[in-house]
Amino acid sequence: MVDLVDWIALHPTVTDQIAGIASMLDKEVVAELDRSFDDAHRDDRRRALADHFWCDLLAALAHMLEECQKQLDKIPDRVTSAIIAAREAHGQRSAIDDLHVKIAVHHAWKLIQKIPFVAAVLPSVEEPLRAIRILAVMICPAPEDHREVAKHCLHPLTGECVNNLTKQRLKEALPDDWMS
């Protein structure tokens, strides 16, 4: 945790992102939940939210954002495969071999992602994902006992926000499958 606090102190933009997510959860999501709770159980449900609910929510969001990014990263290879398969299905061969199809597709995809209207629709999840992960670790009452937070939030932060000594200590302290 000390590593995260030190890293955050050096990156004020990330601090603002984390604060924005926390504020949205506090003002919007809590209010919506509060409206949905019946009067008889409202206090019990509010207390239950403090029992790893928020860090569960953030860890699950982090996991799904990471999965979405992986799918986006596969687009160039899938497009390359589709072009090659279509050409083969129609018996077309040209002077452009498979390697050059791949080069063209990958380069085109990089350039397409930089076009403003495309970038607005397919933004990178790197910054919000980092902020969500840090917030999950910071608010979790016991990240060392919370598998999803350790696996989807804490472990991915090692190297960038958490130093190697802390990473080694985490590997020693947590079950093997929590840090992979």
Under 8 Å CB-to-CB from 125, ≥6 apart: which residues? 65, 66, 68, 69
Residue percentage of the chain with pLDDT more than 90: 47
Q: pLDDT tens, 74-91? A: 999 999 999 999 988 888
Q: pLDDT tens, 128-170? A: 999 999 999 999 988 878 899 989 998 888 877 766 656 555 5
> In the predicted model, what is the mean pLDDT of the chain?
86
Taking Cα atoms as reference points, which of 177, 176, 142, 160 lies closest to residue 56? Answer: 142
Q: Where are the domains of the chain?
A: 2-71+132-179, 74-121
Amino acid identity for residue 145 in this structure = D
